[in-house]
Amino acid sequence: MRKRLKKPRNYGSKKKIIEQGAVIKKGKGLIKTALVYPNSYKAGMSSLGFQTVYRIANQIQTVACERFFLSEPGQRNVQQPKSLESGLSLDQFDIILFSISFENDFIHLVQILEEADIPLRSTNRNHTHPLVISGGVACFLNPEPIAPFIDCFLLGEAECLLDSFFDAFSRKIDKESFLKTMEKRIPGAYVPALHTRESPFQIKVQYLENLEMVTTSTSILTSGTAFKDTFLIETLKGCPHGCRFCSSGFIYRPPRIYPAKNIYAAIDTALGKTDKIGFVSSAIADHPDIKKICNYGLKHNFKLSFSSLRADKLTDELIGAMSNSKVKTATIAPEAGSIRMRNVINKNIDEHDILSATQRLVNSGIINLRLYFMIGLPFEEDQDIHAIVELTKKIKSVFLETSKKKKKIGTITLSVNPFIPKPSTPFQWAAMEDQTALKNKVNIIKQGLKKVANVNMNVESLRKAKIHALLSLGDQKTADIIESALKNGWSSAIKQNSAYCNSIIHQEKSVESPLPWDFLDNQVKKLFLAKEFVKAKQEKKSNPCPMIDCKTCKKCM
């Protein structure tokens, strides 16, 4: 039996949150599955991956899937986490399924288990406890920092994994016996307890071959997200451009495109529910039918927004769609200030693209710009940091000249983020710069722009970035530090394990050295990534992925 949930309990908001599309299942014999996003309701319900797992699980007749989120600050230890749908506590479910998009949420996973009075380590749990499963992109980049807490990982895209997993699951089989069979029965399953360092193994991450029969869009429309009442639609998976710091361009290689007809159908689904559509992907403008898709949305009177657009792909049609949708802020991501550094990171846009995009955006009435830059990139020099200042001033000059003609001046906001090496990218062997060096680079930018009007600057916390790097790059020893951080705070945990943390975060690795995530087969060869790392040192660019049959291309697989 199903019924729609219209007014869920409040998760971190004083305003009532209205939902459309949530599902409640009741009946005997259902596999009770707790789907947990280890962050706030607002963050979780903004995640298409989380919403997709919820939809697929509840489409399985034998499964009742309910949602959990992280307790709000101040509520910790007051009560056990409760299901949004039924109010049941986490320990009343057969399965706990964590969906993790970002490594920073690894500690929240442990916090939620602790709040639910469930033993943190897999080895300390028995048949009376729920089976603890984890998936999501953060897990198939590097699951090792949380491996001791997890009974089994499902690594890959949910469409490839969930049906097989629930088909295999049975309450009648004891947990240990069930886990022993998982990796044999389900491609993409990884049971950490079955492996030791002395026994080499490989897990093949599961990907859909194509998206012909798939649509990825909002399942539950809610007012309580970062994209309030916006119906999100994914347009393609991955990115062809191969920026060397970006995991999306490599773990989802080759990029796969959703057919336009699937996207039209998703737009039709939103009719009568909202007037806002958000297109989501790492490379929206690379969809071959993006112009027709935008026209279809505008024709049906939707306001359109885009998660990201490259300056060199910013066509007049896309700008027009943004302008017609009353978008007032656009994002440009040069990432680096100098052409030398953009060659190093394989960001194939030039200064002309950036300045032209600025002029055309402001001229169309989009009066605010957000600029993304990274500092601490591999092979970066101080002159490259000064180049960020100079490029920003050039952008401001074009911005100001065009704004004066429009008689309306907006604001430029710089978002400056420390580089964090990511698994399965060409920069996975690189070191993260220490905080002293990063602070000096931040100061160069601040001093260079302090007299420039209408330019604001936001800098990601350098302390949090260091933690993020540890969680991205660590092995199973990192689990001890996560537990310590939960009890004593990150500063104490990292200080007590400083030698280990520094070796993980701040030391460049040899391309021959083993990495914690080497047992994952993410399709792209390690040799290809190593060659890209060498090309970065040589300041050489690479061509984008041609998005053709990999058996024909054979460059990276």
pLDDT at position 12 is 44
Q: Is 270 exposed, middle or buried (0-12, 13-18, 19+ CB in 10 A)?
A: buried
Distance CA(206)–CA(188), nearest Å, equals: 6
Q: 201 with 195: CB under 8 angstroms?
A: yes
pLDDT at position 2 is 45
- Helix 462-473 vs helix 435-449: angle between axes, to the nearest 10 degrees? 140
CATH 3.60.70.12 is the classification of domain 208-327+525-556? no
Which pTM was predicted? 0.94
Mean per-residue pLDDT over the chain, rounded? 93
On the question of pLDDT at 1 being above 60, the answer is: no
Q: Which long-range contacts (CB under 8 A, 24 or more apart) does 163-169 make?
A: 163/56, 163/60, 165/133, 165/189, 166/31, 166/57, 166/60, 166/62, 166/63, 169/31, 169/94, 169/95, 169/131
Residue (of 427, 345, 348, 335) closest to 385 by Cα position: 335
Q: Is 513 exposed, middle or buried (0-12, 13-18, 19+ CB in 10 A)?
A: exposed
**Structure tokens of 503?**
């070796």
Three-state SS for 469-484 is HHHHHCCCCHHHHHHH
Say which CATH topology domain 25-204 has: Rossmann fold (3.40.50)
Q: Tokens 């990274």, residue? A: 374
**Structure tokens of 52?**
């997709």
On the question of pLDDT at 288 being above 80, the answer is: yes
- Give the tens place of pLDDT for each residue, 399-436: 999 998 888 899 999 999 999 999 999 999 999 999 99
Residue 79: φ, ψ to 5°: -155, 165
DSSP 312: G
- Give the tens place of pLDDT for each residue, 73-104: 655 555 789 999 999 999 999 999 999 999 99
Tell me the domain boundaries of the chain: 25-204, 208-327+525-556
List the single range of 71-85, 382-396, 447-461 with lowest mean pLDDT. 71-85
DSSP 19: E
Residue (of 96, 181, 193, 102) closest to 147 by Cα position: 193
Q: 362 with 397: CB under 8 angstroms?
A: no
List the single range of 29-38, 64-73, 375-384, 423-432 with lowest mean pLDDT. 64-73
**Structure tokens of 192?**
């950490």
